[in-house]
Amino acid sequence: MMTPSQTAAILVQALPYIRRFAGKAVVVKLGGAAIDAELDRALAQDVLLLRSVGVRCVLVHGGGPQVDKLMRRMGKEPEFRDGLRVTDAETLEIVRMVLVGKINRDLVATINREALDEPVGVGVSGEDGGLLTTVPRDPALGFVGDVASVRANLLHQLLDDGFTPVVSTVGADSSGQPFNINADEAAKAIAVAMGAEKIIYLTAAPGLLENVEDPSSLVHRLTTAELRDRIAHDSVSAGMIPKLRACADAVEGGVGFAHIIDGRVPHALLIELLTDEGIGTMITKEPIL
């Protein structure tokens, strides 16, 4: 158990970070593999604490493992091409059910339970109010879309009104046709459109590892140029490439910093934002001296 002096020391350490990020937007992407009832509760507490000190958090979530599970229960085998889900009309309905109807509602409910005094979590689909306008990625993928535009003012207005937006990554084209969007890419597009200070990817991994078999080989910091060089030379795991590209694109698009951190660690968000140590991998545009 911590002594009062130790508690005070932690609060003093957090103060400059609170001052730095107050009033700034932070986009947090929660991967489906990192979704867990107890961890979601800790994340909700983190988001609410940050909200109370003026940090403008937007949660963006995926749900790939959960979609796979429901598809198999319905007798449909998931199919992927280059890491993207082949999405026919039936699969699209399953994606909407899981992301919009289940995961989003559960996350919002968790935030509102932890808020106690008043509900502040608001679920938003990319289809709502034209938040995420999409264009088709590739006819061979079916209803898979890329983000063409983000209605960032909708998120800013919710934040201005004291709400915490939780975004599910199903968008629609100009005709209203829904599309499944890669959640990493959607989070990046939202962060860039909002002019976010940070984008943080909560994953089921410690961050970028030099050796995927060795958790102690964590790469703590690197620039976008160094990151793209690693991707070009196949020195990172294939599964991490879409997330790493999204991080590089976000920072080069004007987001201050990108982070890949272990969402399985309780209160990982607070550790990353409000302590000297931080966790995971940080991506910057220029080297930090």
Q: Does residue 3 lie in a domain region? A: no
To which H or E segment does residue 210 belong?
none
Distance CA 257, CA 248 (A): 9
Q: What is the DSSP letter of 209?
A: B
The mean pLDDT of 64-73, rounded to a whole number, is 94
Checking if the pLDDT of 10 tops 90, the result is no
Count Cβ neighbours within 10 Å for each residue of 40-76 and write b for 16 or more, e otherwise: bebbbbbbbbbbeeebbbbbbbbbbebbbebbeeeee
What domain count does the chain have? 1
Structural domain of residue 277, as residue ranges? Answer: 23-284
Least confidently predicted of 76-90, 123-137, 263-277: 263-277
Token digits for 34? 């990192």
Q: Does residue 7 lie in a domain region? A: no
Token digits for 223? 């620039």
Q: Does residue 18 lie in a domain region? A: no
Structural contact between residues 97 and 103, judged by C-beta atoms closer than 8 angstroms: no
pLDDT (tens digit per residue) in 82-103: 888 999 999 999 999 999 999 9
To which H or E segment does residue 222 belong?
strand 221-223
Checking if the pLDDT of 204 tops 90, the result is no
Nearest to 92 by CA among 66, 71, 72: 71
Q: Does residue 55 lie in a domain region? A: yes
pLDDT reported for residue 289 = 62
pLDDT reported for residue 97 = 97
The mean pLDDT of 59-74, rounded to a whole number, is 94
Distance CA 157, CA 56 (A): 11
Distance CA 37, CA 222 (A): 32
Token digits for 111? 């935030």
Rg of the chain (C-alpha set): 18
Q: Which domain CATH number covers 258?
A: 3.40.1160.10
Q: Does residue 289 lie in a domain region? A: no
Checking if the pLDDT of 234 tops 80, the result is no
Q: Does residue 198 lie in a domain region? A: yes
Structural contact between residues 124 and 158, judged by C-beta atoms closer than 8 angstroms: yes
Q: Does residue 10 lie in a domain region? A: no
Distance CA 251, CA 157 (A): 24
Q: Does residue 57 lie in a domain region? A: yes
Q: How far is CA 227 from CA 80, 88, 131, in A?
A: 25, 34, 30
